[in-house]
Structure 1
Amino acid sequence: MFHPLRVSEVERLTDDSVAVTFAVPPELRETFRHTPGQHVALRRVGDGDGIRRTYSICAPADEHPVLRVGIRLVEGGEFSTYALKELAEGDTVDVMEPTGRFVLTPRAGYFAAIVGGSGITPVLSIASTLLAREPEARFCLIRSDRTVASTMFLEEVADLKDRYPDRFQLVTVVSREEQQTGLTSGRLDEERLAGLLPALLSVDSVDGWFLCGPFGLVTGAERALRTLGVRRKTIHQEIFHVDDALAPPAPAATRPVPAGGSTLTATLDGRSGSWPVQEGESLLETVLRSRADAPYACKGGVCGTCRAFLVSGEVRMDRNFALEPEETEAGFVLACQSRPATTQVELDFDR
């Protein structure tokens, strides 16, 4: 469900990114209370169900949390262009309640993150909340950016280093310019990370890994960690951008779409309905024809907002960059990427 919120601040971070803060009225404070690492979907007022985009919350989850998101300009991106060039204090934006499972509930332990570009946004919330709440926690942040000038939340990360010098380790890499100190420039690919990580920290002692950024960095980091013997269940990932040239092609259907068509039954907010699936449409599109309140944001298999439980029937997913293997094994699917493989399919969006 969307709520119209007033913009209280638009802060320029770099030439191509801003941080946007929303004023949350008292009656909605619990609605917008977030777990560190979650994101919200934004929609321009007046766009109806047109332009929606998800952005991670960068603020710590304090007792009185602030709703602040980081937005980086994407070439051709309608909402990011609007946010950087038009959005101003006093404007109103439709904001959906926080969601997402790329989260860390503060607890004692040793945690590490590998991020690229705007992937710092949710990790900033995770690290700042963890270090403030849990004195027995440590955090290592390995971040990659194109240049120092393009680095988002530079001051906020430096502040964490100053406040927690013994518990926060920061490693920075820039890919397009030389640094006077620190690591040499270049991309953090699988081969480089496999050699670099053991020299930076005790890989075996890390209780949880958080990978966030573009598709290539996240998948390369995961492969490097698996090469180093890290267990899959300790690796959490969120992809911010998928370059179609790098992403694997959609898998071929394991069975043909039912010749006689298919019917979808879906439960959403306690109400159920059944509708015929039209040729070529995803299950999310089927639901949206009758239920405009169906949850979604990116429609690209990246954000996970349309996650639903497959109660019965079979589907094929074209792409999945949001669900963890444990989630798909448990029966969850992305409605925006799912197409029916049986004549009857039932989804539950409420689980």
Structure 2
Amino acid sequence: MKVQVCIIGGGPSGLLLSQLLHLKGIDTVVLEKSSRDHVLSRIRAGVLEHGFARLMREAQCGERMDREGEIHNGFEIAHDGVLSHIDLHKHSGGNSVLVYGQTELTRDLYEARDRLGGKVVHNAEDVAPHDLTSDRPYVTYRANGETIRVDCEYIVGADGFHGVSRKSIPKDVLREYEKVYPFGWLGVLSRTKPVSPELIYVKHDRGFALCSLRSQVLSRYYVQVPLTDKVEDWSDDAFWAELKRRLPDEVAARLVTGPSIEKSIAPLRSFVAEPMSYGRLFLAGDAAHIVPPTGARGLNSAASDIYYLYHAMLAHYQQGDDSGLKGYSAKALARIWKAQRFSWWMTMMLHRFPDRSEYEDRLQQTELEYLFSSETAQRLLAENYVGLPF
């Protein structure tokens, strides 16, 4: 097989880049180690920056998103038993976010690739990139007991934190930065009416909580738990009881509970790999960076990578201009580190840290008090939450 761009990873990042490039006549193939059903079973965040929503529309994948997505002009922060509102629309110059589940977004991208006859290979085993510093890189994978070679001009690694792409960069070239947080998020998806039309972030002495939603009949809730906890430790009843303890009384009173559709514990980490390119290999999304889910920057950070990479490849193939490809890593990382800072700040401000001193607890409380006393502080939060410019 021969293509111009071989994309490793069939999640939303890889599919979106493939779709955008295809629309411009650039031939791609996507290699995904899992089945399509498995990819579509992943439950992930669903808060989209306005810039990401525009990119989906440009990829001709935004019709259902615009029809079914929930526009949110703000969110609440619960603290000290009260709710304080953050007006995103007011403080970000009229911008908002769109709540639309990542599973649905990925399904839309798959359907778009199908419509155009895009090449997406599932159950691709032992994927390996080769000759990255040459002008003729290639990728091999195994399918049905056969080794298949893909000759290409560029390779994009969008295969997640545990994928092969980042590991293909020599250790003496790659530098990794990481912070692991001493807790995780226990998440429950339930077919229940959301407790609030907007997201509620909760700071509580018992730990952080989040009330989110996927639609008007599908809710997603989280509570902070120790890393030693297991899903089996938490019955549905125990989860709902703990969530209610952390919510203000007025919110807890209207919480609709029900059986969990999905329940999982996600550890929290901040991670960045530099550089995000090596020879003809370019990293995107979780292959290069991870953020805590606080503030919903993960999927959106991946979208900014795809934006920069897409435009860099357009310049190369349409104009013979390689400056975008050469500058991709530096440009992407400049925005990624800002997203890292914002996610770290939100996480530090809203979570209960088991080893933090009383002095640090008071600083945390002061940080929250300052936020609600300062229009400038709320404007900084809002402009980061709706998404910094690409």
- Structure number having the greater strand percentage: 1
Instruction: Determine if the TM-score, normalized by the shorter chain, exceeds 0.5.
Output: no
- Structure number having the greater helix percentage: 2
Structure 2 length as normaliser, TM-score?
0.28
